[in-house]
Amino acid sequence: MLIYEWDFDKNEVVQWERRGECNQCGDCCRVCVKYNKPSEDINVQEATANGNYHGICNQVQVDGKDNYFWDVRIDNNDKDFQPCEDLKGNSCFSHNGTREVLCRYFPMSPRNAELFEQCSYRFEKIESWEID
């Protein structure tokens, strides 16, 4: 799994290596974590080319396929939010293939992990470069 964080406000992309294991604290499953999905024809390469994008995009590359998560955040104001039904105690019981794609890869950067005090993942910066 290759992970990159595109910061269009800082004009910088960082490749991270994720270290450690999930300690199954369950904290990221109990709150409403949201992100924006790119429309099918928008990705970071296009964003780089036209320079019209702002915010932060986490890119996860698995088996040559890219997944993009724009502006990952906690939303404490979503009145429709329901705790995940697959969380039993502190364990995830999602074994039927319906698991949210974000759950497979979260956290994808120190910025994501820092949202949760107990998160046991750590990140090492591999390299970074300017977007332009």
Q: Report the interface residues with ligand SF4, using CB under 6 A.
A: 22-29, 84, 86-87, 92, 94, 99-100, 103, 106-107, 116, 118-121
Instruction: Supply the minimum distance, in Å, between the C-beta of residue 80 and ligand SF4.
Output: 16
The smaller minimum CB distance to ligand SF4, of residues 10 and 104, is found at: 104
SS (H, E, C) 17-41: EEECCCCCCCHHHCCCEEEECCCCC
DSSP class of residue 67 equals E
Instruction: Supply the minimum distance, in Å, between the C-beta of residue 79 and ligand SF4.
Output: 19
| Cβ pair 99, 29 in contact under 8 A | no
Sequence-distant (≥ 6) Cβ neighbours of residue 42 within 8 angstroms: none
The smaller minimum CB distance to ligand SF4, of residues 52 and 76, is found at: 76
The smaller minimum CB distance to ligand SF4, of residues 38 and 107, is found at: 107
Q: Which residue has the tokens 């105690």?
A: 89
Instruction: Supply the minimum distance, in Å, between the C-beta of residue 82 and ligand SF4.
Output: 11
Instruction: Supply the minimum distance, in Å, between the C-beta of residue 125 and ligand SF4.
Output: 19
The span from the CA of 54 to the CA of 56, in Å, is 7
